[in-house]
């Protein structure tokens, strides 16, 4: 937005100084006596063309880590960030990833040329198989187009841009609550974002009735965002029977499913089990979109590796869709990065490495499940008021504790425990050593703060 003077007022000293310098660059000699070339104004506010820019608030999730980093307490605990930590509280690089990287480094035939717009071909093929199943009829019929994208976020964004350009319905329904970035990703792509009921605070479980009612009254053809498993932030997933009812309802109204799969294998420890919701929708022959991320399940957070698959009615449609996806990607970032996708492809195509990955993935999922049990037991042994069984019923990286924002603020102030204000805790950030500290904090918050 333009600020300040109208075009008829006299130029400011900064403008006159700039004009003199431009004239000089165009060949006119500098006149040292020109008053506008006197010492530059000392205040940056007078010279910056970005002076009107207001400070944006921190991202609500990443801001938790910013606050945590500033806290000097030795007992501080960060349960805000959705990244896996070991029992020792350290980030983990999987052994199989290190092995794959070593193989890539040792291979002197590898070069750093640009990838095609759609990314690494092997990676795309193997990613589709991983999420849809090796025997997926849609893959066998060539009805799936897969493009490598910048992790889960980039896959969602590319899919959203494609839908905004080429799909007749521009309304997307997202669960309430959901991962905070969904609203912005879809809104900025030009879709109208609406919500459907998902979570029931009373049971700390699924509001299945509300979900069916909302999707039942959505306009025909609307897009519906579904978390494939390990719903973020609630950790509440529909059962297989509930998924089947959701599928029937959505297909009967021609609602278009857009799956977000950020936690395949991370929820149950089993890659196939965590993809069942998607495969159920693909089995019926209908169309859908799937955004896949390798951030959590391969620990490749910063490599930004993911894929968007679009399952179409026919091979011909899929190939036309792919041609248009290229037009979305090319002006956005031209082509995706090569390193992370090469790591994933190396692991997925080698049977022994794939099995090694499965073992390491299960170990991460099991550690999270064991943290749930330990926290539940610790609260029970303290006699903390309330039913905490949702901690062991919920699944995946997060527990939606039910603590309110005042209780969260209390835990941060008194116990140096950092979490998002909606009461979500990352179970992956806990360890046997830190569970008692968290249980003490929750107990105090529940008994002292309304
Ligand atoms: C539900 C959900 N979708 C997508 C993402 C995207 O993650 P990334 O872009 O790091 O793959 C996340 C990450 O926290 C998530 O929780």
243 CA to middle of ligand 1, Å? 21
Counting atoms of ligand 1 from 1, which one is nearest the CA of 153? 9
* 153 Cα to the center of ligand 1, angstroms: 6
Both 289 and 337 in one domain: the answer is: yes
Domain assignment of residue 411, yes or no:
yes
Note whether residue 430 is domain-resident: yes
Q: Which atom of ligand 1 is nearest to the CA of 156?
A: 4
Say what the pLDDT of residue 4 is: 37
Half-sphere exposure of 207 (CA within 13 A, CB side): 16
pLDDT value at residue 63: 83
Quick check: is 99 in a domain? no
Which ligand 1 atom lies nearest to the CA of residue 178?
1
pLDDT for 1 equals 35
| CATH for 310 | 3.40.640.10
Asked if the structure places residue 79 within a domain, the reply is yes
Residue nearest to atom 7 of ligand 1 (CA): 152
One domain, residues 34 and 68: no
Q: Which residues are catalytic?
A: 179, 260, 296
Could you tell me if residue 157 is inside a domain? Answer: yes
Say how many domains are in the chain: 3
Helix (H) or strand (E) holding 194: strand 192-197
Instruction: Please report the pLDDT score of residue 82 as a whole number.
Output: 86
Residue nearest to atom 12 of ligand 1 (CA): 262
The closest-lying atom of ligand 1 relative to the alpha carbon of residue 82 is 14
CB of 61 within 6 A of ligand 1: the answer is no
Same-domain check for residues 20 and 162: no
What is the pLDDT at residue 450? 83
The answer to whether residue 162 is domain-embedded is yes
355 in a structural domain: no
Predicted local confidence at residue 406, as pLDDT: 96
What angle (nearest 5°) sits at the alpha carbon of residue 154, between those of residues 149 and 155? 65
pLDDT at 16: 63
Single out the residue in 306, 321, 349 at which a domain terminates.
Answer: 349
Alpha carbon distance 341, 358 (integer Å): 18
Q: Is 292 in the pocket of ligand 1 (CB under 6 A)?
A: no
Residues 6 or more apart whose CB falls under 8 angstroms from that of 287 comprise: 256, 310, 311, 312, 313
Shared domain for 258 and 398, answered yes or no, is no
**Are 378 and 413 in the same domain?**
yes
pLDDT of the chain, 450 residues: tens digit per residue: 333 334 345 666 556 655 655 565 555 665 656 655 555 555 555 689 999 999 998 887 888 888 999 999 999 999 998 899 999 989 999 999 999 999 999 999 999 999 999 999 999 999 999 999 999 999 999 999 999 999 999 999 999 999 999 999 999 999 999 999 999 999 999 999 999 999 999 999 999 999 999 999 999 999 999 999 999 999 999 999 999 999 999 999 999 999 999 999 999 999 999 999 999 999 999 999 999 999 999 999 999 999 999 999 999 999 999 999 999 999 999 999 999 999 999 999 999 999 999 999 999 999 999 999 999 999 999 999 999 999 999 999 999 999 999 999 999 999 999 999 999 999 999 999 999 999 999 999 999 998
Ligand 1 site, residue 153, Cβ cutoff 6 A: yes
Task: Please report the pLDDT score of residue 59 as a whole number.
Answer: 81
Q: Are 326 and 371 in the same domain?
A: no
Ligand 1 contact via 426 beta carbon (within 6 Å): no
108: part of which helix (H) or strand (E)?
Answer: none
Distance from residue 396's CA to the centre of ligand 1 (Å): 13
- Distance in Å, CA 258 to ligand 1 centroid: 14
- The widest CA-to-CA distance across the chain, in whole angstroms, is 84
CATH number at residue 371: 3.90.1150.10
C-alpha angle 329-335-336 in degrees, rounded to nearest 5 = 105
The answer, yes or no, to whether any atom of ligand 1 lies below 6 A from the CB of 293, is: yes
Find the domain containing 208 and state its range: 115-349
Do 160 and 285 sit in the same domain of this protein?
yes
Indicate if 345 and 238 belong to the same structural domain.
yes
CA of 21 to the centre of ligand 1 (A): 48
Q: Are residues 137 and 250 in the same domain?
A: yes
For residues 288 and 272, membership in a common domain is answered with: yes
Whether residue 256 contacts residue 167, with contact meaning beta carbons closer than 8 Å, is answered with yes
Same domain, 168 and 267: yes
Question: Is residue 106 a part of any domain in this protein?
Answer: no
Please give the Cα distance from 408 to 419 (Å, whole number).
Answer: 7
For residues 375 and 276, membership in a common domain is answered with no
């Amino acid at each position: 937005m333009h600020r300040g003077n109208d075009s008829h007022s006299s130029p400011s000293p900064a403008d006159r100084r700039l004009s003199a310098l431009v004239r000089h660059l165009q060949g006119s000699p500098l006149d040292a006596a020109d008053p506008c070339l006197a010492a530059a104004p000392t205040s940056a506010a007078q010279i910056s063309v970005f002076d009107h820019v207001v400070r944006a608030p921190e991202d609500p999730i990443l801001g938790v880590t910013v606050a945590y980093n500033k806290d000097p307490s030795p007992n501080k605990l960060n349960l805000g960030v959705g990244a896996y930590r070991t029992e020792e509280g350290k980030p983990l690089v999987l052994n199989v990833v290190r092995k794959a990287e070593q193989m890539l480094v040792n291979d002197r035939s590898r070069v750093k040329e640009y990838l095609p717009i759609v990314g690494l071909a092997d990676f795309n093929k193997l990613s589709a198989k991983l999420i849809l199943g090796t025997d997926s009829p849609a893959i066998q019929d060539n009805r799936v187009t897969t493009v490598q994208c910048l992790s889960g976020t980039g896959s969602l964004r590319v899919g959203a841009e494609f839908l905004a350009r080429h799909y007749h319905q521009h309304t997307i329904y997202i669960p309430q609550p959901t991962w905070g970035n969904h609203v912005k990703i879809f809104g900025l792509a030009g879709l109208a974002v609406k919500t459907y009921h998902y979570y029931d605070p009373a049971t700390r479980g699924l509001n299945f009735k509300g979900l069916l009612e909302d999707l039942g009254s959505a306009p025909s053809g609307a897009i519906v965002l579904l978390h494939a498993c390990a719903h973020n932030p609630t950790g509440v997933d529909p059962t297989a029977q509930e998924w089947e009812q959701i599928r029937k309802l959505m297909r009967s109204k021609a609602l278009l499913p857009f799956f977000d799969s950020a936690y395949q294998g991370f929820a149950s420890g089993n890659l196939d089990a965590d993809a069942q919701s998607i495969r159920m929708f693909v089995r019926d022959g209908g169309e859908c979109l799937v955004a896949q991320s390798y951030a959590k399940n391969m620990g490749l957070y910063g490599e930004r590796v993911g894929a968007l698959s679009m399952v179409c009615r026919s091979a011909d449609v899929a190939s036309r869709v792919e041609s248009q996806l290229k037009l979305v990607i090319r002006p956005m970032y031209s082509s995706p990065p090569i390193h992370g996708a090469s790591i994933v492809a190396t692991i997925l195509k080698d049977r022994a490495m794939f099995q090694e990955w499965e073992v390491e993935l299960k170990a991460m999922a099991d550690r999270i499940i064991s943290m749930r049990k330990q926290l539940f037991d610790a609260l029970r042994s303290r006699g903390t008021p309330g039913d905490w069984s949702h901690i062991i019923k919920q699944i995946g990286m997060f527990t939606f504790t039910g603590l309110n924002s005042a209780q969260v603020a209390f835990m941060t102030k008194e116990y140096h425990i950092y979490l998002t204000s909606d009461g979500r805790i990352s179970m992956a950030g806990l360890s046997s050593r830190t569970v008692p500290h968290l249980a003490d904090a929750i107990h105090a918050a529940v008994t002292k703060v309304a």
